[in-house]
Amino acid sequence: TPSVETTSPPPLQSFLGHIDPINFIPPDCHGAVGLNEVVTATNEFIIVHAKNGGAVLGKVTFSNFFNNPNMSDPYMQFDPYLKRYWVSGISTTTTNKLFIAVSQTSDPSGNWNRYSFTPTSPDGALLLDHTYLVFDNKLLVISGRKFPGGPRFTVTILFIFN
C-alpha cells in the first residue's frame, strides 16, 4: 500500500484570497500563480493579489474583463514559456461564445489581448461548456464539453491555435 514518506512542509505564508458573495452558483473557482502575483478567477470576479503578502492589486468582474455580459466557466493558467497569464471562459447568452485572453506581460494587472469566436463543429452550432486550456511552447489547445440540442454532454471538442 502507498504511504507518505515525509510530511509536507507548512506554507511559508497564507492570505485570504476572496470571500465569495455567492451571487453565482456554482462559483467555478480557478486561479494561477505567476512570478509575482496570484490571480483568482470565478464566475463573478478576476482578482489579482501580490504573491508576497496577498495585497489586492486589482479586481474586475469576469463579465467586464471580457466586456461581455453573462460570462462563466473561467479557466486560468500561467504560461512558463511566455511568462504570460491565459484565461478562457464562455458566454451563456443565446449565442454561446468562447473567450480567450492572454496578458501582454507577466503582470496580470497590465494590458491583455482578448479574442472570441462562436464555436461550431461539423454538425453545426453547439453549446460549449466548461472550457479548459493547455499549452506548450508552440500551441494553445482549448477543450470543452459539447452539448448539441439538449442538456446531455455528448463529446469533448478541441480547438487548437498556433
pLDDT in tens, 135-156: 888 889 988 887 765 556 667 8
Q: Note the pLDDT of residue 37.
A: 96
- pLDDT > 70: what percent of the chain? 92
44 has pLDDT over 70: yes
pLDDT at 3 over 80: no
In the numeric block, which cell numbers belong to residue 37? Answer: 502575483
What does the longest C-alpha to C-alpha distance in the chain come to? 53
Q: What is the pLDDT of residues 90-131, one digit of tens each?
A: 987 767 889 999 999 999 999 999 999 887 767 666 777 888
Quickly count: other Cβ atoms within 10 Å of residue 111's Cβ: 9
Classify burial at 20, counting beta carbons within 10 Å of its beta carbon; exposed 0-12, middle 13-18, buried 19 or more: middle
**Four-residue CA torsion sign, 105, 109, 115, 119:** positive
